[in-house]
Amino acid sequence: MPAGPVATHDWKRYVDAAPPGAIAEFGCFDGGSARILATLGRPVFAFDTFDGIPAADFRAGEDAENPPGKFRPSAPPWRLFEQHPNVYPVVGRYAETLPTLAGLRFAFVYIDCDLYESYRQVLEYAVPRLDGDVFMCDDYGCTGAKRAVDEWLRQHPEWTFDGRSVFTRRPLVLCSKCKATLTPAEAAVAPPQPPASNHRA
Ligand SMILES: C[S@@+](CC[C@H](N)C(=O)[O-])C[C@H]1O[C@@H](n2cnc3c(N)ncnc32)[C@H](O)[C@@H]1O
C-alpha cells in the first residue's frame, strides 16, 4: 500500500495510452484506489476478498507485515462504489474467483495485494489477459510480493521492470508481429524508455 500520495497522474498517463478496454485492480481494501481508477473513464474490475487479507494465502515470515484480516474494509463493496457504477467488484479469494473469469481482458492492470501467493496467482492470471503493454505493482517492497515478482520475471524475460513499480514489455515482444523483419541488433536497440514514475515501489 502506498505510504504517500498515490501517483494518480501516472495511472492516467498509462491508462490514456492503453488500448480500449477495462482496468483491473487486484487488492482494493476500502476502494480508495479503485475509485480513483474509476474516474479514468473505463470499466474497473475490483478484485478483493473485501474481507481483508485471507488467511489461506498468508505465509508467516515473508508476508508477516500483512497478516490475515488486515485491510478489512469499512463498508461492503456496494457501498464503497455506490458513486462509481463503472466499478465491478469481484468478491472473494483469487484462488476462487480467478478460475471462474477466464474470458476477461484488460487494458491496464494495477496489483496491490501484498502477499507472495496472491501475487503469484494474479500475475499468472492477469498478464496473459493484458492487451496493454504496461502493468503496475505496488508491493515490490514486501518480501513475499517481491519474491513472486522476481520469480515471474525470470520466467517472462519478455518483460522489463523499471526497478520501481512499472513494468514494460521489451521491444522484441512489442515488435513480435514483425520480428521476422528485424535483425537481433535492430530488435535490441532503442528500448522504449519506461515513463518516469514516482510511484513507491
Ligand atoms: C494493501 S490492500 C489494497 C489497498 C488499495 N489498493 C488502496 O490503495 O487503497 C491489499 C488488499 O489485497 C487483498 N488481497 C490480498 N490477497 C488476496 C487474495 N488472495 N484474494 C483476494 N484479495 C486479496 C486484501 O483483502 C486487501 O484488501
pLDDT value of residue 134 = 81
Per-residue pLDDT of the chain (201 residues; tens, 9 = 90+): 333 334 455 788 788 988 999 999 999 999 999 999 999 999 999 999 999 999 999 999 999 999 999 999 999 999 999 999 999 999 999 999 999 999 999 999 999 999 999 999 999 999 999 998 888 888 887 899 989 988 988 898 888 776 555 555 533 222 121 222 333 443 343 333 333 333 333
23, with CB counted inside 10 A (0-12, 13-18, 19+), is buried
CA 24, 28, 32, 33 dihedral sign is negative
Question: Half-sphere exposure of 168 toward its Cβ, with a 13 Å CA cutoff?
Answer: 17
> What is the Å distance from ligand 1's center to 148 Cα?
15
Cα separation of 26 and 142, whole Å? 16
pLDDT value of residue 13 = 79
Q: Does 66 sit in the ligand 1 pocket, CB within 6 Å?
A: no
Q: Does 194 sit in the ligand 1 pocket, CB within 6 Å?
A: no
Q: Whose CA is nearest to atom 22 of ligand 1?
A: 48
Architecture of the 8-188 domain:
3-Layer(aba) Sandwich (3.40)
Closest ligand 1 atom to residue 50 Cα is 25
Q: Does 139 sit in the ligand 1 pocket, CB within 6 Å?
A: no
CA 163, 129, 24, 193 dihedral sign is positive
> What is the Å distance from ligand 1's center to 161 Cα?
22
Q: Does 199 sit in the ligand 1 pocket, CB within 6 Å?
A: no
pLDDT value of residue 27 = 96
User: Are residues 145 and 137 in contact, defined by beta-carbon separation less than 8 angstroms?
Assistant: yes
pLDDT value of residue 178 = 23
| Contacts with 122 (C-beta within 8 Å, 6 or more apart), sequence order | 26, 47, 94, 98, 111, 113
- Three-state SS annotation for 64-77: CCCCCCCCCCCCCH
Query: Greatest CA separation found in the chain?
Result: 55
| Contacts with 157 (C-beta within 8 Å, 6 or more apart), sequence order | 170
pLDDT value of residue 70 = 97
Q: Does 29 sit in the ligand 1 pocket, CB within 6 Å?
A: yes
pLDDT value of residue 136 = 84
Dihedral angle over CA of 130, 43, 89, 156, nearest 10: 10
